[in-house]
A and B are shown apart, each in its own frame.
Chain A
Amino acid sequence: MPETTFLDSTELVLNMGPQHPSTHGVLRVILKLDGEKVIGTECVIGYLHRGVEKIGENRTYQQFAPYVDRMDYVAAVSNGLGYCLAVEKLLNIEAPPRAQVTRVILTELNRIASHLLWLGTHALDIGAITPVFYCFREREEVLKIFENYCGARLTTHAFRVGGLQYELYDGFEQQVKAFCDMFLPKVDEYEELLTNNRIWVARLKGVGILTGDECKEFGVTGPVLRAAGVKWDLRKAQPYSGYEQYDFDVPTGENGDTYDRYIVRMQEMRQSVRIIRQAVDRIPAGPIGKTPKVIKPATGEVYVSIEAPKGELGYFVVSDNSTQPYRMRVRPPSFVNLQALDRMVRGGLVADVVAIIGTLDIVLGEVDR
């Protein structure tokens, strides 16, 4: 075995995180470098592990609902929707139409909020500081709607099994419509700042390419999959909560690089506004649904997945005819998407790792659960 010294070796192992600002939380990536080139990575996760699935097995069905908000805390409403739909399917009940339309509005607003946070932090990672302030300014308006509706801004706990807890407040429609009118020009403003920006294009075009087939191999979903040209959106493929009634497009990219993922997410925000506008006009009157006093589903299991802002968010719930689930399994989009990091990073430069982690749009609360 040859004697190696630091100067002889060409490989360098570099720890990135868990306190690195651009790993978006407590992700630790061990990078194996050859000069500036990345020849291998290893993700170390679990720094934010709270055992959410186990908590779910020790709580009643109603009691677990606030905890799901704490997985993907950027898109808490989507998490709540997925959980409520799963338990409702287990119970064979459905939320009344008014509740369903309200759920769609709030979930799409949350998609916008999540993408805005992604855009701001991603641009910040690349080195553009202005977008983060603009994005947070608009995100604030969404959070205000959430606060007015359910009393919390981030961990909303907005939906309950069987419908809603809170009736819409006075002026909800006007506030949402005002937000939509205000928001679309702002998306153009972000695009003006970034889309044709030479630094932005140079940093993103052709970086972290993941082809459609590779995405399918890894099980990658959401905007990352759509940017690779695969037209797969669960809102279209398996409509839930009345998504089949709305007219919207599924934006796709071509190359599956970081730039396409940016374009896809920007288009998705516009489509979300389109859905919200249609939904606000057709909020039906009627009951908002009532949570059953005791939730005791019959023995069985159910898997329900929804299109969360980050990809397919699935809940697998096993019931043993008691008030607590026998098994609660969550399929978080961030966790699955993070697998593709190694494939995307390999062969690239160290600086691109930051861009690729940003573009995957992971939330560590969801990766570690």
Chain B
Amino acid sequence: MGKFFRTIFLVDLFQGLWVTFRNQNPKNIYTEQYPAERPKVAERYRGAPRLNINPDNGETLCIACNLCALACPENLIVVGSERNEQTRRKELTTFTYDLSRCMFCGLCEDACPVDALELTQDFELASYTREGWIWDRQMLEEGPKPTPYKC
């Protein structure tokens, strides 16, 4: 008899639908609406490299020691330096970072003795040209500028 009523009132169907609707709860939705809703990456995320500048005087923190270039497994960092005769110190002139070969292993970041080179949380690194991947000193200091899309 119970089975008869279950069949008549489609109890099984509604039970199944209840499972479906229960999972419509917004907290069960995992999809991120990407350009509108940006993912929050972890604090230690290894993304685009950045060459830090001293916020007080705007000078670069890099001491042109070349350790990052030596640590890099892909040899993609080229550090150009010049000896300043007045202060008798090496000063950074150019810094090239070839992102197209980078595998974001973080070894350059580990090698840096003054925390000048850092892998940041920026992850939007697409470029229309291959040359766009080779970042110079200015680009490394300013960081990537992804196009904002209105949605």
Q: Choose one: A137, A152, A169; the contact of B43 (CB below 8 Å).
A: A169
Chain A facing B: main interface SS:
helix
Q: Is the CB of A63 within 8 A of B73?
A: yes
The verdict on B119 contacting chain A, using a C-beta distance below 8 Å, is yes
Q: Is the CB of B45 within 8 A of A165?
A: no
Q: Choose one: B30, B41, B106; the contact of A165 (CB below 8 Å).
A: B106
**CB-contacts of A61-111 with B (<8 A):** 62-67
Q: Choose one: B42, B105, B106; the contact of A148 (CB below 8 Å).
A: B42
Cα-based distance from A65 to B42 in the complex (angstroms): 22
Contacts of B42 in A (CB 8 A): 144, 147-148, 151
Q: Is the CB of A152 within 8 A of B41?
A: no
Cα-based distance from A217 to B24 in the complex (angstroms): 52
CB-nearest residue of chain A to B30: A137
Taking A63-B71, A64-B73, A66-B105 as contacts, is the C-beta distance between A149 and B110 under 8 angstroms?
Answer: no
Distance (Å) between the CB of B21 and the closest chain A CB? 18
CB-nearest residue of chain B to A160: B110
Q: Mark A143-175, 1 if CB is under 8 A from B, else 0.
A: 010011111100101000000011001000000
Contacts of A64 in B (CB 8 A): 73
The verdict on B114 contacting chain A, using a C-beta distance below 8 Å, is no
Contacts of B44 in A (CB 8 A): 147-151, 166, 169
Interface residues on A, range: 20 to 34
Cα-based distance from A150 to B30 in the complex (angstroms): 23
Give the size of the chain B interface in residues (CB under 8 angstroms).
17
The verdict on A186 contacting chain B, using a C-beta distance below 8 Å, is no
CB-nearest residue of chain A to B105: A66
Q: Choose one: A144, A149, A151, A155; the contact of B119 (CB below 8 Å).
A: A151
Cα-based distance from A157 to B44 in the complex (angstroms): 13
The verdict on B137 contacting chain A, using a C-beta distance below 8 Å, is no
Contacts of B71 in A (CB 8 A): 62-63
The verdict on A282 contacting chain B, using a C-beta distance below 8 Å, is no
Q: Is the CB of A66 within 8 A of B73?
A: yes
Taking A63-B107, A157-B105, A157-B106 as contacts, is the C-beta distance between A151 and B45 under 8 angstroms?
Answer: yes
Contacts of B45 in A (CB 8 A): 147, 151-152
Distance (Å) between the CB of A168 and the closest chain B CB? 11
Contacts of A157 in B (CB 8 A): 105-106
The verdict on A59 contacting chain B, using a C-beta distance below 8 Å, is yes
CB-nearest residue of chain B to A152: B46
A-B contact list, 22 entries, CB within 8 Å: A59-B73, A62-B71, A62-B107, A63-B71, A63-B73, A64-B73, A65-B105, A66-B105, A66-B107, A147-B42, A147-B44, A148-B43, A148-B44, A150-B46, A151-B42, A152-B46, A155-B103, A155-B105, A165-B106, A165-B110, A166-B44, A169-B44
